Every structure is written in C-alpha cells, then in structure tokens.
Amino acid sequence: NKRFFSFKERLLLRLLVATQLQRYTFIFNPPKKSAVFKNNLEDRQVVFTWFNDFLKAIGVGPYACFFFYAAVLCVCFFVFLTDYKKYAKWMVPLFLISFIWFEEFVIRQCFSWSFVFILLKLLHILNKDQEKKKLSKVVKIKIYIGILGISYIIYGTHSANLFVVLVVLAFYVANRIIPWKIAVPIYVFAAYFFSAVFKGDFISQYLILLQGFDSKLDGYANEGDKWFDTTNDIGNVRGGAIKLLETWGTVALIYYGNKVYELHRNRLYVMIYNTFVFGTILRHAFFHLEILNRLGLVLEILWFVPLSFVAVDYKKMRQTKNEVWFRIGLIWYFFEYVKYIAFRSADRMLFLWDM
C-alpha cells in the first residue's frame, strides 16, 4: 500500500546518506583490483566484490551503489517481517532506530548482516515444519542447503558476521530461554565489574601468532594497540547517569522479554531473545575493547524484536504496580536514537576505520 512504500522510500533515502561515501566509492570502483584489498576488504570476502561487479555491469555508479546496499537491507528485513505482521507497527520503526547507526557507521558489515534476516526466515520455516510436520524430506534438504548458502553469503561479504550465524544457530539448537534471574546479575557484573578490571592489551600479543592465516587478523595484529587496548577505546564512554539509564532500560527489556516468552513459548523468539541477551552481556563485558564490543553490538542489535513483542503484548502480562518503573526504563532505546540523530559528536561522522 501507499503507506508501506512511502516509509520504504524514506527509509532507503535516509540510509543512502552514508557517512563515508568517498571512501566506499573508492572501494566500489578502485584504480586496480589490488586496491580493494588495501581498503579493509579481505581476499576471502568475494561476495561483496561480486555484488559490486554486478552493479557496475548494469550501469550503477559509485554513489548510487549505496541505494542498493540499503535496498538489500530493507528487502531482507521485510522478508523477515512477513512472519511478524502482528508486531509490524512497532517492529518497523524500531528496526530503523536499531539499524540506522549500523548502516551509516559500518556499511559493509551491515550489508552482510542483511542476509541474517533471510537466515532467520529459513529457521522460521524449519521450525514450523518441526511443529506441524508438514514439509517433505526434499524440502527440508533444500532448507538446509539454503541455510548453508546464506551463511556463505554472510561470510563472503563480511567474515565477522560468521560469529552472528554461529550464535544464532547455537541458540536455535539449544531452544532454552536464558532466565532473567540469571541474565540480569551476569549483565550487571559484566557492565560494572568485569569491564572495569579486564585488560585487553594481551590479546594483541597472541594475535601476532596468527599473522599470515587471514588478512583481517593481520590488520588487527598490526594495530593491536588501537583495537584491544582499553586506553584506545573508540568513543565507547558512558557518563555515570547515562550508564545508569542504560542499565535501567536493558534490565527492563531482559525482564519483560522473559515475560513475553511465557505468553508465546516460541522457539524463534527464544533464539532472537537469547542472541540479544548474549550480545548485551558480551558488549558490556568488553565495553572498552573496540573489536569485542562490536561483536556484542551486532548481536545486541536484535533488541528491536523483543521490544516490539513487549510493546504489543504488555497488557496480557501479569504485572505488579511496581513494574511501571521497568516500563519507564524502556525509554532508553529511544534516547539512544535521539542522541545519535541530534547530538552526534564529530567522530561519529566518520566511518569506523577512519576514527
């Protein structure tokens, strides 16, 4: 309908305004092939190169390519959304809030992440089969092949997202929700104690042993002090009041996310919720270490799914009067978006690797 396409067009145009167009246009159309690998593209990430070659073959220029990166993200998301129509009125805007920094700040990794939505869709189909036992063995085999294929596309676009695939599949197989009574204490410990005492500079020493195995690892090893030293955290700083507000909101979503499960007991929801919780704990445990922080972020980014469920189903939950304070804490997720749009610091105008 008109409303759908109007939002889609606005979303694509918003995502099109990426922060480092000149840098990515050089990657898109380099003077020679070797130059691609000198701009943080590893020789094993061939899918991204293939996609750019395809765009050039159909006449897409070095600036218009960003429209196609954003379009792929949107299309993959809306494919995923077909299984959650009931929650679309919340999930669509929350998706934009959750992903806007990702699309603008880490462009290629976000493009790779787009296909995670297709992975989630395939797992949803597989889960429906296990519940209703309607799919034939041939169809199941096709789904498994599809999962392998989409996993390769994700890896072949940005190798770091293979971690996302492994975590998602692990939680799908486990099919047990992380209880909030366990998740909340671990999160608080990670955010306030572990992150304060953990030193990551020793990681760079061990990465030297892995030089030569992978071009990405070579880059991290050569700049280990930048990526694994707490004295060089790249903008990962929280003031006391902001950190408390973040804790308030995160604990609230972990708690309410568990209560949503009591209503649905859905395997796909468990997988997504657990991925969010694990990512949150990982990010806060290594808050001042850029690489590990980012590994947590690309898992935590799924927070928009449980929050959408909470927004739609909260009236069905058993609640006490005191729980209103938890609901207020959820404002945190909107605060982050407003801060990113209206009060962005100068370093956040840069692409991650140029900071």
Of 69-73, 107-111, 260-264, the range with the lowest mean pLDDT is 260-264
Can you read off the two tokens belonging to residue 316? 């069905």
Asked if 346 and 107 touch (Cβ cutoff 8 Å), the reply is: no
Can you read off the two tokens belonging to residue 349? 């105008």
**d(C-alpha 285, C-alpha 279), whole Å:** 10
**d(C-alpha 122, C-alpha 129), whole Å:** 11
Dump pLDDT digits (tens) for 166-191: 999 999 999 999 999 999 999 999 98
pLDDT for residue 348 is more than 70:
no
pLDDT for residue 289 is more than 50:
yes
Of 78-82, 192-196, 198-202, the range with the lowest mean pLDDT is 198-202
Across residues 245-265, what is the average pLDDT? 89
SS3 at position 317? coil
pLDDT of residue 297: 92
Residue 185's identity, in one-letter code, is P
pLDDT of residue 113: 96
Across residues 313-323, what is the average pLDDT? 77
Across residues 234-256, what is the average pLDDT? 78
Burial zone of 7 (CB within 10 Å; 0-12 exposed, 13-18 middle, 19+ buried): middle
Asked if 202 and 276 touch (Cβ cutoff 8 Å), the reply is: no
Across residues 216-241, what is the average pLDDT? 51
pLDDT of residue 151: 96
CA distances from 123 to 126, 142, 174 (A): 5, 12, 13
Asked if 352 and 234 touch (Cβ cutoff 8 Å), the reply is: yes
Q: The pTM is what?
A: 0.80
**By percentage, how much of the chain surpasses pLDDT 90?**
36
Asked if 298 and 279 touch (Cβ cutoff 8 Å), the reply is: yes
CA distances from 264 to 197, 289, 320 (A): 39, 36, 20
**Reported confidence tier of residue 131, pLDDT bands at 50, 70, 90:** low
CB atoms within 10 A of CB 60: 16
**Reported confidence tier of residue 28, pLDDT bands at 50, 70, 90:** low
pLDDT for residue 126 is more than 80:
yes
pLDDT of residue 230: 46
pLDDT for residue 53 is more than 90:
no
332 against 220, higher pLDDT = 332
**d(C-alpha 163, C-alpha 116), whole Å:** 11
Residue 163's identity, in one-letter code, is F
pLDDT for residue 205 is more than 70:
no
pLDDT of residue 351: 46
pLDDT of residue 298: 93
**Reported confidence tier of residue 283, pLDDT bands at 50, 70, 90:** very high
pLDDT of residue 196: 72
**d(C-alpha 182, C-alpha 97), whole Å:** 28
pLDDT for residue 145 is more than 70:
yes
Across residues 234-239, what is the average pLDDT? 51
**Reported confidence tier of residue 17, pLDDT bands at 50, 70, 90:** very low
**Reported confidence tier of residue 238, pLDDT bands at 50, 70, 90:** low
pLDDT of residue 52: 86
pLDDT of residue 39: 40
Of 57-71, 140-154, 200-214, the range with the lowest mean pLDDT is 200-214
pLDDT of residue 215: 53
Number of H helices, E strands in the chain: 20, 0
Can you read off the two tokens belonging to residue 330? 């959820």
pLDDT of residue 20: 44
